[in-house]
Structure 1
């Protein structure tokens, strides 16, 4: 890529970052499409044993999205920022794995087993059932904080609450979701919801 093409790409990235800061989710998708292949190749070059490259790439983009939405993160050149986050994620995850002691009996439990996808699917169904049992306001605050990554204080005005009340609502919703999940787990899969 020539110098003028590189400058144009950086200019486009800066414009996409501005749009993302303004809440345009399509801008994030474009940044992802533009940079994910390069980030993946870079992650492969710094990869450590036991750290999945695709998980690293997903985590990197999630962290960047959260940073930008919180008013931090890159302003113009995103690629250097992405590479820095890759190094940080790989280092953090490698360090975390290094300190996990695994006994021989745990090794067989952690290894892939036939039917694991069925367990994951069943867990997902239980979680969905529990989530749908919550009042709409609790579902909204959980979705906005846990899935979209918003801080309760940033949602307060939209919910018509104080920042403190929003944090309490989010805490109660998480606790109730845990309880609803355990209740859903006690029912046969065909019933409830």
Structure 2
């Protein structure tokens, strides 16, 4: 009982200090921001580094967290928890968001490299495209595709556009453009193989 009674004033005092610091930030008190940064920078950076496993990324997250606190101090509500806990939560959330953005960027870059590889010879269809002897067969195969698929394939594999550029050119969502390119490639490969087989039979 006595221990609980002794700890209660410390919790109340800490909450009061957090609220007071928040209010100073609301009024644009730069010294309050300096105090905030000095007190919690190490905490925020450590959490961000633990999630990102990257020092530079952790620094970016740390800057984002403190900038957000400076710009929107009222987002922190002392009645709901401590300032330390709130900053820790923000650091973890923003670090996770950064990692997800980086993973999405890597996936996008990989997709674009795969499409570029098809033009330069890393794709069975691309190999046939670069062969001058198959130019006529390619033209015939493209004409056999539905118009929307043929246009997407021509933009990506003959004119060298990325799928994002194809999406912009055709006025499509990026996901739709990627789906059309995949389907167009599949059908084009089948059509080219069929034409090649027909040529063999004629000979």
Q: Same fold (TM over 0.5)?
A: no
**TM score, norm. by length of structure 2:** 0.42
Higher RCO (CA-CA < 8 Å; seq separation 6+): 1
**TM score, norm. by length of structure 1:** 0.44
